[in-house]
Chains A and B, each alone.
Chain A
Amino acid sequence: MKLTKIQLKKLGEIADIGAKSASKYLSTMTNKKFSVNIPWVSMYPYEKIPRTVGNPAETVTAVFMQVQGELEGVILMIFPEKSALQMAGLLQGEEVTKLDDMADSALKEAGGNILANAYLNAFADKLKLKITDSIPHITTDMLDAVMGGVLSQFAAKTQDALVFKNSFQVGKEKVEGHAFILFDPDSFELIIKKLKNAR
C-alpha cells in the first residue's frame, strides 16, 4: 500500500493542525513556549521508526494510547529520560527528580489526554470520522523495547507504517518529546477515501 505525495501532504496538514492546538494547550498550562516542528508524515518501514528518535538502549518514558472508532491506530508519546522529568516538572509546577506516580499521572494527562485529543480532533474534524482515544498507559524502558511491541502489532500486516511524527521543544528548558501516530493498515483505505473529500 502506497500513499501519493499529495495524500501525504494533506495528512501532514491535518497533523499540523493537531500539533498546533496541542502546543497551544501545553503552552497555556505550563506558561512556557512550546515549539512544534513541521510534522513528518511518511510511509516508512516499521523496524526503522525507532531510529528517528535515538539509539536502541536510550531510556525513554512512553505514554501509549489506542485510537478507536472508525479508525484504528495508536498514539505514542516518547520523552527521553531527562525530558520526562523536566516535562513532569513543568506540568506540576515544581522540580521533579524521580518519576513517581504523581509524575506519571502528569505525563499521562499531558501526553495522553491533551496531546492525543488535539491530534485526534484534527483528524476527526478533517476526515469526518468518529474517533476516540483510550485511557493512557505509561512505561519507562529502553527505546526499542518500548516501541517494538507497539510497532509489532501492525508490522505483521504491511511493510511500511503510515506514520506521523511531531517533535516539540519547550523554550530554553531543552525539553523534547516525540509524538507518533500510527494507523492500523486495515484503516488505510478509509483514510484515503475520506481524504478525497477533506477540505
Chain B
Amino acid sequence: MQDKVNVHMGEYKIAEAPIILQSIGLGSCVGVCLYDKSKKTGGLAHIMSANSKKKKEEVNPHRFADLAIDALIKDMKEKGCKKTFLSAKIFGGASMFPGVMTLSNIGEDNVIAVKQKLKKLNIKIVAEDTGGSKGRSIWFDTTDGSVVVSQIKGETKMM
C-alpha cells in the first residue's frame, strides 16, 4: 500500500514517490497538482478563493490561488524541483448551489485565477476536470503524476 497524505482546504503539501496526495470533497475549491517527472515529486494545493484583494486582515495565504501556487513552487524548488519541468493538472471549481447568485461564480472564478497564475508562470496545464455542480475527490500518485478523480454517483476516471 502506498502512503496517502491528505491535503485539506487552504493547505498545500509536497511529496515524493510513492506517496499519494489526496483531496477529498473539492466543491468550488480547486485542487492544483504540480508534478516534476524527473524528480518524481508532486505538490498539491487545495485552493478556496480566487484572489487575496478582498482581505481585511491577515488571512491564511494558502487559501488563495495566487499566493498558494507561489508558495508551493518555492517549496518544490527547495526540494530540488525545477520550474521548467513542472506540469499542472487542475480539478474542482464546481458550483454546488447553481441557483445561488452569490455562490455560483466562486468555483469558476477559482479556476480562472488558477489558470491565469499558471499561465503567468509558464506552467502547462496537461489535464483538467473542472466546473459542473458536483463535488470531486482526487488522488494524485507521485510515482507517475497520474490523478484519479471521482464524484458521488458519478464516474471515476484517471487523468
Interface residues in chain A, defined as those with a beta carbon under 8 Å from any beta carbon in chain B:
1, 45-47, 50, 55-57, 59, 64, 66, 134, 137, 139-153, 155-159, 185
Tell me which of B26, B49, B51 has the highest count of chain A C-beta atoms within 10 A of its own C-beta.
B49
Tell me which of B57, B58, B100, B133 has the highest count of chain A C-beta atoms within 10 A of its own C-beta.
B100
A148 touches B25 (CB 8 A): yes
Tell me the B104-159 residues at the A interface (CB within 8 Å). Answer: 106-107, 110, 133-137, 152
Partner of A145, one of B27, B60, B100: B27
B8 touches A185 (CB 8 A): no
Interface residues in chain B, defined as those with a beta carbon under 8 Å from any beta carbon in chain A:
6, 8-11, 24-29, 48-52, 54-60, 63-64, 94-97, 99-100, 102-103, 106-107, 110, 133-137, 152
Contact A148/B27 with A47-B10, A66-B100, A155-B48 known, Cβ cut-off 8 Å: yes
- The distance in angstroms between the C-alpha atoms of A66 and B49, with both chains bound, is 19
B25 touches A149 (CB 8 A): no
> In the complex, which residues of chain A have a beta carbon less than 8 angstroms from the beta carbon of B54?
156-157
Partner of B58, one of A57, A140, A155, A159: A159
Partner of A149, one of B50, B52, B60, B97: B97
